[in-house]
Amino acid sequence: MGLVLTIQSRPTMAKFGAETWLPSMVSLSLIREIAPVITALICAGKIASSISAELGSMKVTEQIDAMEVSAVNPYKYLVVTRILATTIMVPILVIYADLVGVYGGYIGYNIHGDITMFRYFSDVFEHLEFLDIIPATIKTFFFGFFIGMIGCYKGFNASNGTAGVGIAANSAVVSASLSIFIIDMLAVQITDFFF
Amino acid sequence: MEKKETIIEITNLHKKFGDNEVLKGITLTVYKGENLVILGRSGSGKSVTIKCLVGLVPADEGEIKVFDTDITKLKKTELNTLRVRIGFMFQNGALYDSMSVRQNLTFTLKHHTKDIEKEAIETQINEALENVGLLEAIDKMPADLSGGMRKRIAMARTVIIKPEIILYDEPTSGLDTITAREISELMVSIQKKYQTTSIIITHDMACAKSTSDRILIVKDGVINAEGTYEELEKSDDEWVKSFFI
């Protein structure tokens, strides 16, 4: 993401003589918006579909019913664990994507230019503030929570056999992706209001 | 004459799914230690009846007394206390397919018996698998098992908690005649060994004959006929007779 963004933005920035702003522009774009949203969308595609398909197939093959009649709370065992996992892991993946993306920006910059790593990262951190990172990271917890919750909800409500499992997985990806855009929009509004 | 102890008593049970009224007033009694077979055509409400019995499907109307407790009035936690005394074997086994056979049994046992020792788990798993003759499948995944083996493992998982009541939902469906007979024999031997009370939902007349103490026939959501296999076989009712052809 960082590499592509740098390569794409460079000609325009160069036109305005603002090439030196490239490291900070790329890192800000990545950390505030692109890395969290793209990572969450990838997770929505991979994790929400996987959770809903797994729980959906458990539902249609009566495995969840079997759990319930064994006096095991399936929500506690199957839902809480998954939501907790996505809520914790999505922010970690986003931080990882931030780091890889910013480093990608450095590689992208050096394809047509020449900058040392120290200079590049000095430029990145010079314009990066604490308030750029915190709200962007907080919203990723919500992304993770909703990805897990929607995946579980769709899986638990799957019906009509294997066809229903496919529908649940598909619907989970669409709903989770949509929820990411809505949460992102709300997060931007709230961040703008307070900061 | 010895008075039979009632374990399950269902009175005027009604259940609707949308506009489709599946149960239209089921009334039945199950006595301690008996194997009750419920026969009926597909969609007649047999499986729904036993699902209502364990609270998987909430009843719309009627009373379901298990061990003298009306389960329709119980809260979730109270219902779970009762559920640990009941085993349920699902039609397709419903084995947890992300777990091995050992894990399937351990999971059920650990949730049923809190603070159980590791050695006790191992002993009980071995005993349950020996009961169904599948000790060698202990580390296999459900996907690696045949239909008959899955049913046997499901039976082991049901029996491992030593339930007082076992509900079988079409235990021999989809099996060849020999495996179906083995499953039927297994049900009888488990009933004798653990003195359980069972309700068996089946279409398989051979299974009904070998396992039943009493048979109920459900038609259009109500009990239509009742008796032993031999009594019903001699019935004059054409519809009842159609099951025995």
Q: Which residues of A touch B161 (CB under 8 A)?
A: 70
Q: Which residues of B touch A70 (CB under 8 A)?
A: 83-84, 108, 111-112, 161
Pick B94's closest partner by Cβ from A65, A71, A72.
Answer: A65
Asked if residue B183 belongs to a domain, the reply is yes
Strand-pair partners of B87 = B166
Q: Is the pLDDT of residue A195 over 80?
A: no
| Mean pLDDT value of segment A117-123 | 86
The strand pair at B35-40 and B6-17 is best described as: unpaired
Chain B touched by A70 (CB under 8 Å): yes
| Chain B residue whose CA is closest to A65 | B56
Q: In CATH, what number is assigned to the domain containing residue B229? A: 3.40.50.300
Q: Is the pLDDT of residue A194 over 80?
A: no
Q: pLDDT tens digits for B170-207?
A: 988 888 888 888 889 988 988 888 889 999 999 889 89
Q: Is the pLDDT of residue B237 over 70?
A: yes
Pick A62's closest partner by Cβ from B80, B92, B112.
Answer: B92
Q: Is the pLDDT of residue B149 over 70?
A: yes
| Chain B residue whose CA is closest to A54 | B98
From the list B176, B205, B172, the residue with the least C-alpha distance to B186 is: B172
H-type alpha helices, A30-129: 35-43, 49-60, 63-69, 74, 81-112, 117-127
Count of CB contacts below 8 A, A vs B?
46
**Interatomic CA distance for residues A17 and A11, integer angstroms:** 10
* Inter-chain residue contact A71 with B83, CB threshold 8 Å: yes
Q: pLDDT tens digits for B36-68?
A: 999 988 888 899 999 999 999 999 999 999 998
> Best residue in B71, B81, B92 to probe A by mutation, most A CBs within 10 Å?
B92
Q: Is the pLDDT of residue A53 over 90?
A: yes
Q: Is the pLDDT of residue B109 over 70?
A: yes
Q: Are residues B121 and B233 both part of a single domain?
A: no
Nearest CA-CA distance, residue B74 and chain A, Å: 14
Pick A66's closest partner by Cβ from B80, B94, B161.
Answer: B94
Residue B2's pLDDT is what?
Answer: 63
Q: Which residues of B touch A68 (CB under 8 A)?
A: 56
Q: Is the pLDDT of residue A108 over 60?
A: yes
Q: What is the pTM of this model?
A: 0.84
For a pLDDT cut of 70, what percent of chain B falls above it? 99
Q: Is the pLDDT of residue B103 over 60?
A: yes
Is the interface score ipTM higher than 0.95?
A: no
Q: E-strand spans in chain B? A: 6-17, 20-31, 35-40, 61-66, 69-70, 86-89, 165-169, 197-201, 214-219, 222-227
pLDDT bin (cut points 50, 70, 90) of residue A5 is: confident
Asked if residue B230 belongs to a domain, the reply is yes
Asked if residue B214 belongs to a domain, the reply is yes
Q: Please, what sign has the CA dihedral across residues A77, A81, B92, B43?
A: positive
Q: Are residues B168 and B241 both part of a single domain?
A: yes
Chain B touched by A71 (CB under 8 Å): yes
Strand-pair partners of B218 = B40, B223
| Mean pLDDT value of segment A120-124 | 86
Task: Tell me the residue range of the domain where B239 lies.
Answer: 1-85+164-245
Q: Are residues B116 and B177 both part of a single domain?
A: no
Q: Which residues of B touch A62 (CB under 8 A)?
A: 90-92, 94
Q: Is the pLDDT of residue B3 over 60?
A: yes
Q: Are residues B158 and B179 both part of a single domain?
A: no
Q: Are residues B202 and B106 both part of a single domain?
A: no
Number of CB atoms found within 10 A of residue B123's CB? 11
Q: Which of B140, B162, B184 is the last residue of a domain?
A: B162
* Token code pair at residue A69: 């009649």
Give me chain A's average pLDDT, please. Answer: 90
CB-based contacts of B129-133 (< 8 A; 24+ apart in sequence): B129/B101, B129/B105, B129/B153, B129/B156, B131/B155, B131/B156, B131/B159, B131/B186, B131/B189, B131/B190, B131/B193, B132/B156, B132/B159, B132/B186
Q: Are residues B22 and B72 both part of a single domain?
A: yes
Q: Are residues B58 and B171 both part of a single domain?
A: yes
Residue B175's pLDDT is what?
Answer: 83
Q: Is the pLDDT of residue A35 over 60?
A: yes
When divided into structural domains, chain B yields a total of 2
Asked if residue B90 belongs to a domain, the reply is no
Q: Is the pLDDT of residue B245 over 90?
A: no
Q: Which residues of A touch B98 (CB under 8 A)?
A: 54
Please give the full DSSP string across B127-141, using - where no structure is assigned.
Answer: HHHHHTT-GGGTT--
> Best residue in A69, A72, A78 to probe B by mutation, most B CBs within 10 Å?
A69
* Inter-chain residue contact B94 with A54, CB threshold 8 Å: no
Domain range annotation of chain A: 2-194
Chain B touched by A65 (CB under 8 Å): yes
Edge-to-edge strand list for the sheet holding B165-169: B86-89, B165-169, B197-201, B35-40, B214-219, B222-227
Nearest CA-CA distance, residue B78 and chain A, Å: 10
pLDDT bin (cut points 50, 70, 90) of residue B242 is: confident
Q: HSE (CB half, 13 Å, CA atoms) of B41?
A: 8
Q: Which of B144, B162, B180 is the last residue of a domain?
A: B162
| Chain A residue whose CA is closest to B82 | A71
pLDDT bin (cut points 50, 70, 90) of residue B1 is: low
* Inter-chain residue contact A69 with B56, CB threshold 8 Å: yes
Q: Which of B137, B162, B187 is the last residue of a domain?
A: B162
Q: Is the pLDDT of residue A100 over 70?
A: yes
* Inter-chain residue contact A65 with B56, CB threshold 8 Å: yes
Q: pLDDT tens digits for A129-188?
A: 888 888 899 999 999 999 999 999 999 999 888 888 999 999 999 999 999 999 999 998
Q: Map residue A128 onto helix, strand or coil.
A: coil
Q: Are residues B81 and B171 both part of a single domain?
A: yes
* Inter-chain residue contact A71 with B54, CB threshold 8 Å: no
